[in-house]
Amino acid sequence: MTSLTLGLIAAACWGFHDICVRAVSQKTPLLASLLTVLIAGLIFHLGLMTVTDGFTPLPRPAFLLAIASGVMFLIASLGLYAAFQRGPVRLVAPIIAAYPILSVGWTALNGAEVSLLQWIAVLAIIGGVSIVAALSDDSTGDTPPKGRTVLYATIAGIGFAGTFALGQWATTLSHDMPVTLVTRVIAIVFLVGIIIAYRLPAWPGRKPLLVLSLMGVADGIALISVISAGALPNPEYAAVASSMFGLLTIVMAWAFLREAISPLQWLGCLTAFCGVGYLAL
């Protein structure tokens, strides 16, 4: 399986996750929802490791990188939720979707050759996702000041780029399953610390548990897909392709919820998939 394929799997899973967020975010405490999703993903991951006999010790360098990846994953998740809570989508989504620039830039700094056409393909994916996200925003009325929203979205984008770079680096030193396990456990530990420190609710209630659990499984598949690409050629392609989760959310809403997609949005989809198609060559 290629890095690009793993990234598209991650994008589909996070797209499903995003659709579910729409259903639960308005009635469920934010951090309680995130904690439940992370724990459900952890249970799924532990089950997968049990079936595949994936429990192997991590060398110290890989363990430290996985810890750092977990911290970045939590930062990214908190930034994403905070940015989308403030909105608008047309401002937030393009900023977060730009994180592949950092992923590919990190690869270039580490000596890998990135051609001009590959950069154009990456920018086409980001541009296509941004067009679809911006045109899907139907929010009206007043929104909070944009400065803090931009800050949260930027933090989320940097957090995702850092998560994937550190996690993939760790997989070059050890196995992907324990690396992803440590990443998820660290994110949960720090999130629990925040919830306790600020005395925030940790229980989302019974009603959204099934949806949150499904979101956790999807999140678990997505994270292991991107991090496991670290052992494959062009691991940055997984991060690039995974940024299409917002676009796939809109496409899935069109396919399953019968939501309309405008001609310009279809153009954005075509632009993004052309970029993916070039990288797959």
Q: Look up the domain containing 64 and give its range.
A: 3-280
pLDDT value, residue 138? 64
pLDDT value, residue 254? 81
Angstrom CA distances, 268 to 36, 117, 132, 233, stand at 33, 19, 6, 28
| Contact in structure between 236 and 104 (CB atoms under 8 Å) | yes
Distance CA 70, CA 159 (A): 10
pLDDT value, residue 20? 81
pLDDT value, residue 18? 75
Distance CA 78, CA 155 (A): 9
Q: pLDDT per residue over 80-137, tens digit each? A: 878 877 777 677 878 888 899 999 998 888 888 889 999 999 999 999 988 887 787 6
**Residue 64: enclosing H or E segment and its boundaries?**
helix 60-86
pLDDT value, residue 139? 63
pLDDT band (50, 70, 90) for residue 21: confident
pLDDT value, residue 236? 92
Query: With 90 as the cut, is the pLDDT of residue 218 above it?
Result: yes
pLDDT band (50, 70, 90) for residue 22: low
Considering only residues 161 and 15, tell me which one the structure prediction assigns the higher pLDDT. 161
pLDDT band (50, 70, 90) for residue 2: very high
Query: With 90 as the cut, is the pLDDT of residue 64 above it?
Result: yes
| Number of compact structural domains in the chain | 1
Q: pLDDT per residue over 157-170, tens digit each? A: 999 999 999 999 99
Q: Using alpha carbons only, how large is the chain's radius of gyration in Å?
A: 18
pLDDT band (50, 70, 90) for residue 25: low
What pTM value is reported for the model? 0.90
